[in-house]
Amino acid sequence: MSPHDYDFLCKLLKQRSGLALAGDKQYLVESRLLPLARKAGIASLADLVAKLKERDDRLAVEVVHAMTTNESFFFRDKIPFDHFRDTIMPALLQSRAAERRIRIWCAAASTGQEPYSLAILLKEMKDKIADWRIEILGTDLATAVLDKAKAGLYTQFEVQRGLPIQLLVKYFAQIGEMWQIGADIRGMVQYRPLNLLSDFSYLGPFDLVFCRNVLIYFDQETKVDVLGRLARVTAPHGFLVLGAAETVVGLTDAFKPVPERRGLYAPAMPASAPGLAARVAAMAPRPATLVGAK
């Protein structure tokens, strides 16, 4: 691939998805896009770029989907889900007691394991939320992964990654060599395509936003922009969850880290109004493990 073609692809990906590729990622582009070119009957990456320059929008969408990472598995990294069960939900059940409604957004939901993990934990605490209205929205740039998420159908390998056997048996049905999550869990999550670079204010306010392992692919300017807009849709006394390698520190003052809760952030509150972050910080940290997790 020529330097000019690589530069064109980098600019296309940055514009369309926010993905910022370093100059040494040419091997990654070739490994992801050569199979796409062959599938489309295109002889080389140079020919692929030529077609993109003809403003083939359908092909551009496929290129972006091929290059954006869709890695996901159940209860990935474990700690955010411990926070959800032991810190976030108790705090929200207290602060939302009047309206008895909680809205959750999983941005970059990929093939659905993250929102379904949250739905499973909500099922496990059903006695506490019996008369509550809890909505989970999963969004992703790639429509193909959302189709899989909606079906809730996973391979043996996929359900073995992070999902305790007790929860597999309890909430999934085996269909041939595949496993499908129950219709009641699937019904708890709504999916829709969404690009985080686009306006998402129309989604309304959320009490909890999971936006994990997305910001790491953006440059500084894009991170600041996305975090600023996430702050505007995160309700007062709500929460933001980022990936282990991500932070708001040095990027925005709209969120503050929740002390002793790695990856967990709360909207900054006026100094005169002690917010949920302060109340959460006062909670004594306690070890927590997922059901059946090692």
- 208-249 pLDDT, tens digit per residue, is 999 999 898 888 999 999 999 999 999 999 999 999 889 999
Better-scored residue on pLDDT, 267 or 23: 267
Judge contact between 91 and 280, C-beta under 8 A: yes
pLDDT confidence of residue 284: 41
Where in the chain does DSSP place strands (E)?
A: 101-107, 133-140, 153-155, 172-175, 178-181, 189-193, 206-210, 234-241, 255-257, 264-267
Report the share of the chain in percent with pLDDT over 90: 59
Burial class (CB in 10 A: 0-12, 13-18, 19+), 30: middle
Q: How far is CA 260 from CA 97, 134, 174, in A?
A: 25, 27, 39
| Structure confidence at residue 204 (pLDDT) | 95
Q: Which is higher by pLDDT, 41 or 288?
A: 41
Task: Specify the higher pLDDT residue, 288 or 196.
Answer: 196
Q: What are phi and psi of 156, to 5 degrees?
A: -60, -40
Does the pLDDT at position 291 exceed 70? Answer: no
> How confident is the model at residue 31, as a pLDDT?
84
Confidence check: pLDDT of 281 > 70: no
- Ranges for all domains in the chain classified under CATH 3.40.50.150: 79-282
Q: Has residue 283 got a pLDDT over 50?
A: no
Q: Is 119 helix (H, G, I), strand (E, B) or coil?
A: helix
Across the range 44-50, mean pLDDT stands at 88
Share of the chain above pLDDT 70, in %: 90
CATH class for domain 79-282?
A: alpha beta
Q: Are 266 and 231 in contact (CB under 8 A)?
A: no
- How much is the average pLDDT of 8-16? 85
Strands 255-257 and 264-267: antiparallel
pLDDT at 29 over 90: no
Mean pLDDT of all residues belonging to the chain: 87
Instruction: Tell whether the model's pLDDT for residue 289 goes beyond 70.
Output: no
Q: pLDDT value at position 70?
A: 67
Fold type of domain 3-67: Chemotaxis Receptor Methyltransferase Cher; domain 1 (1.10.155)
Q: Tell me the mean pLDDT in the region 144-168.
A: 93
Other residues' Cβ atoms within 10 Å of the Cβ of residue 41? 7
pLDDT band of 271, cuts 50, 70, 90: low
For residue 282, what is the enclosing H or E element?
helix 276-282
* pLDDT bucket at 38, cuts 50 / 70 / 90: confident
Q: Can you name the residues that pair with 212 across neighbouring β-strands? A: none
Q: What is the pLDDT of residue 250?
A: 93
pLDDT range class, residue 40, cuts 50, 70, 90 = confident
CATH 1.10.155.10 residue ranges for the chain: 3-67
| Sequence-separated (6 or more) residues with CB below 8 Å from residue 29 | 1, 6, 9, 21, 45, 67
pLDDT (0 to 100) of residue 286: 45
User: Which positions ≥6 away from 32 have C-beta within 8 Å?
Assistant: 66, 67
Q: In the prediction, which pLDDT does 54 show?
A: 85
Residues 6+ apart with CB under 8 A from 120: 167, 171, 185
CB 41 within 8 A of CB 128: no
Cβ–Cβ contacts within 10 Å for residue 31, how many?
10
Write the DSSP symbol of residue 216.
Answer: G
pLDDT of residue 26: 83
d(CA 6, CA 18): 16
At 193, is the secondary structure helix, strand, or coil?
strand
pLDDT tier at 164, thresholds 50, 70, 90? very high
- In this predicted structure, the answer to whether residue 144 has a pLDDT above a threshold of 50 is yes
CB 95 within 8 A of CB 266: no
CA–CA distance, 260 with 254 (Å, rounded to integer): 19
Output the pTM of the full model. 0.83
User: Any idea what DSSP says for residue 153?
Assistant: E
* pLDDT recorded at residue 287: 43
Res. 277: pLDDT tops 60: no
